[in-house]
């Protein structure tokens, strides 16, 4: 059994929950818990920080003492995935004085780097180890510097998905599609001691 936590204050919480429900429907033994209290982090094997408003999510995870607990658990190998706003929160430098990044990814981010709501778009993104997925970019941040992170996908020569052991972040929203492969990749990180395989070798934990 794999138990995934989703930071449950704001953003695409339901959409991530539905992704793991789809995975469960394919026979994988996964459960989901919404995380709104510090103590709840101790009952899950990995954590998703959803897309939404990074300033709002940051304010609430600080207020409810979740922020520091994530950093503590990460040091012990606790996998965390962030999508869009979640990536901003995972990063070392957010370039936003209102949001102090967790520093789980050695990356520098430009918030809304692709433009505002009107510049949102969907296009194919080729992900190392997975192949093409539909990338849903909504007020997407730009990864200005990947630091020591590995790049798993580019879009028009810009990195859009990065990885460092136990941390996975992307500028787009996989939760807004019906393609579960990125979420299954994250589950593989939990089962594979933080390492992402080439896509063939790792067994996603399941029934």
Q: Catalytic one among 53, 72, 84, 200?
A: 84
Catalytic residue among 16, 40, 119, 175: 175
The one catalytic residue among 16, 173, 183, 184: 173
What does the DSSP assignment read for the chain? -EEEEEE-SSSSHHHHHHHHHHHHHTT--EEEEEE-SGGGGGG-SEEEE-SS-HHHHHHHHHHTTHHHHHHHHHHTT--EEEETHHHHHHEEE-S-TT-----SEEEEEETTTT-SGGG-EEEEEEETTTEEEEEEESS--EEEE-TTPEEEEEETTEEEEEEETTEEEESS-GGGSS--HHHHHHHHHHHTTT---SSSSPPPP--
Q: Is 175 a catalytic residue?
A: yes
* 203 is known as an active-site residue: no
The residue among 42, 35, 52, 48 whose CA lies nearest residue 79 is 48
**Whether 108 is catalytic:** no
Q: Supply the residues annotated as catalytic.
A: 84, 173, 175
């Amino acid at each position: 059994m794999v138990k995934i936590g989703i930071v449950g204050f704001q953003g695409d919480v339901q959409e991530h929950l539905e992704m793991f429900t789809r995975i469960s429907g394919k026979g994988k033994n996964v459960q989901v818990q919404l995380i709104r209290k510090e103590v709840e982090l101790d009952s899950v094997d990995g954590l998703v920080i959803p897309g939404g408003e990074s300033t709002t999510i940051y304010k609430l995870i600080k207020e409810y003492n979740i922020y520091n607990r994530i950093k503590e658990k990460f040091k012990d190998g606790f996998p965390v995935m962030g999508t869009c706003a979640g990536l901003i929160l995972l990063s070392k430098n957010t370039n936003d004085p209102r949001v102090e990044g967790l520093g789980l990814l050695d990356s520098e981010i430009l918030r809304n780097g692709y433009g505002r709501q009107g510049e949102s778009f969907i296009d194919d993104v080729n992900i190392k180890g997975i192949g093409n997925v539909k990338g849903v970019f909504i007020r997407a941040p730009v990864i200005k510097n990947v630091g020591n992170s590995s790049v798993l996908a580019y879009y028009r020569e810009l990195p859009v998905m990065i990885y460092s052991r136990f941390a996975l972040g992307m500028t787009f929203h996989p939760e807004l599609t019906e393609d579960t492969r990125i979420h299954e990749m994250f589950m593989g990180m939990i089962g594979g001691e933080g390492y992402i395989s080439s896509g063939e070798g790792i067994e996603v934990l399941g029934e």
